[in-house]
Amino acid sequence: MADVEFEGLVQAAQEAMSAAYAPYSRYPVGAAALTDSGQVVTGCNVENASYGVGLCAECTLVGQLQLSGGGRIVAFVCVNSAGEIIMPCGRCRQLLNEFAAPSLRILTPRGVRSWEQVLPQPFGPADLEETH
């Protein structure tokens, strides 16, 4: 997936970030992903006065992915309010893993990385299959 246009995904993530609801942390985040069907989906963080029930941008992105027909994520980026590329937290890496295409590439502060480099040896659906 070398031909992914990350510049467009960064712009989509920045637009999503502008809709974030972050009155407590004052740290708005936007995320954007490209699916295997060519669709771009986005998400933003949505905080809550009960801090633990806030939603990361990746969470709302996955919700949008499902609402718009699903698919596998082939490219992903996350930005903060300064437009800087940031990394998903561990919880969100696990969430994204559920929807990751084998070829998923993520734009990180250190450049484009494979999903295996970002989340090595992930726990996933195959781990829940019964073995005899």
Catalytic residues: 58
Crossing angle for the helix pair 57-67 and 90-97, nearest 10 degrees?
10
Distance from C-alpha of 22 to C-alpha of 118, rounded to nearest angstrom: 26
Helix (H) or strand (E) holding 123: none
Distance from C-alpha of 67 to C-alpha of 108, rounded to nearest angstrom: 26
The 8-class DSSP code of residue 102 comes to E
* Residues 104/114, Cβ–Cβ less than 8 Å: yes
Strands (E), 5-128: 29-35, 40-44, 73-80, 100-108, 111-114
